[in-house]
Amino acid sequence: MSNFIKNANWRYATKKFDATKKVSEEDILTLKEALRLSASSYGLQPYKLIFVENPELRAQIQPAAWGQSQIVEASHLLVFANITNFGDTQIEAHINNMAETRGLPKDALQGYGDFMKSKISTLPEAQRNVWTSKQTYIALTNLLNAAAELNIDVTPMEGFEPEKVNEILGLTELGLNASLMATIGYRHADDATQHYAKVRKSDEELFINL
């Protein structure tokens, strides 16, 4: 746990990445596995995780992300895209996956599947889209923690125009929406932000014990 706290103090929202440094494929695979293993409601993982490797696409995305340099300078760009209009089809796929993974007859899971459908599919589409978007934030947390363990910098980003990113990447046609982005790489020596003291609320301000 001491390493976890040390890593949490080490990480920060990197403002300037060193474009000459690339994250190894081995480390990217580790981060992908951390993302794959992330918690999600019912284990449904109602999103897709898009690693944008094409530099031309990244250059197109930059203006839609308020011109932030991290988009093109970081080693990797990850777009968290929540599934829109999530419902019965995706829940059935999850039930099939559970049955196969755990060696269970699908009939044994039908009650659980029907329960999920009753709680999710019956919601208005707009509410379901908000819910799937929120799930991406859980996956982001796993990425932040796993990357810090590897001394890899990650900058979470909400500062972009989702509609434009959706258009650039063709996400709407895939039933997806850009919910979050994260740039992954290594901090530049000139990024003064890395030397700033971390500002957080005190225990007394933050926690309530009842």
Q: Provide the residue-wise pLDDT of the chain in tens; the chain has 210 residues.
A: 679 999 999 999 999 999 999 999 999 999 999 999 999 999 999 999 999 999 999 999 999 999 999 999 999 999 999 999 999 999 999 999 999 999 999 999 999 999 999 999 999 999 999 999 999 999 999 999 999 999 999 999 999 999 999 999 999 999 999 999 999 999 999 999 999 999 999 999 999 999
- The number of distinct structural domains making up the chain is 1
Query: Is residue 100 included in any domain, yes or no?
Result: yes
Tell me the whole-structure pTM to 2 decimals: 0.96
Task: Give the sheet arrangement for strand 153-157, strand by strand.
Answer: 47-52, 76-83, 176-185, 153-157
For residues 25 and 51, is the Cβ–Cβ distance under 8 A?
A: no
What are the φ/ψ torsions at residue 177 (nearest 5 degrees)?
Answer: -145, 130
Query: Is residue 24 included in any domain, yes or no?
Result: yes
pLDDT of residue 1: 61
Domain with residue 45: its CATH number is: 3.40.109.10
Residue partners of 153: CB distance under 8 A and separation at least 6: 11, 12, 14, 17, 147, 184, 185, 186, 187
pLDDT of residue 47: 98
Query: Is residue 27 included in any domain, yes or no?
Result: yes
Query: Is residue 157 included in any domain, yes or no?
Result: yes
Token pair for residue 34?
A: 């951390």
Query: Residue 27 belongs to what domain range?
Result: 14-206
Query: Is residue 150 included in any domain, yes or no?
Result: yes
Query: Is residue 196 included in any domain, yes or no?
Result: yes
Query: Is residue 103 included in any domain, yes or no?
Result: yes
Query: Is residue 166 included in any domain, yes or no?
Result: yes
Distance CA 179, CA 83 (A): 10
pLDDT of residue 2: 78
